[in-house]
Amino acid sequence: MTHSDTRRRCEELVETVLSRTGIPQPWNLNDWLDRLERVRGRDIDLCAVPWSPGEPTGAWQRHADYDLIAYPDNTAGFHQDHIILHEVGHMLFEHSGRCVLSDEEARRIAPDLRPDAFTHLFGRTSTAVEEDEAEGFAHLVHARVAAARAVPPPRRHRTPPNRSSQTMVARLTTTFDRL
């Protein structure tokens, strides 16, 4: 699959999902996930866990009747949103990945969770295409969120107080209008 194919798949998925969920104003990831749950008819549970450098930053695990997304509790809110959106991308593309963590490693990372609930949560590894799709999904959703809230206020022009200033403004306007 080429980069263009991956990008096109991401754009199509983001368009489909956002046309059904909309974008909450103001943006709130939890509100958006609530909408996504209603559209999909499946709960999405979030699990904040401590993160250390070198460990995976997020994970998605499909259960029979809900999806679980783990994300680091010790990073910035925007970064948490991006990680969660990345995992939502894996979820919506229905990536399968491959498990690489043992039960012992899983317990070390999140000792408060039951082993059967956590087994193989963080250890899913994905192909490069799956990672590109999930990352593309997260970036495109963030871009659409930013575009939806970035409506510039109308510009108000003032007339310069003297003739020489008016001439300078006219020259600048002419110059920049050509760019």
For the segment 34-87, what is each residue's pLDDT rounded down to a tens digit? 999 999 999 999 999 988 888 888 888 888 899 999 999 998 999 999 999 999
CATH of domain 3-148: 1.10.10.2910
**Cα dihedral across residues 127, 81, 70, 17: positive or negative:** negative
Q: Residue 71: which residues within 8 A CB-CB, separation 6 or more?
A: 46, 47, 48, 49, 57, 58, 80, 83, 84, 87
The residue type of 89 is G
pTM over 0.75: no
Listed as own residue / partner, the contacts of 150-154 with beta carbons closer than 8 Å and 24 or more positions apart are none
The residue extents of the domains of the chain are: 3-148
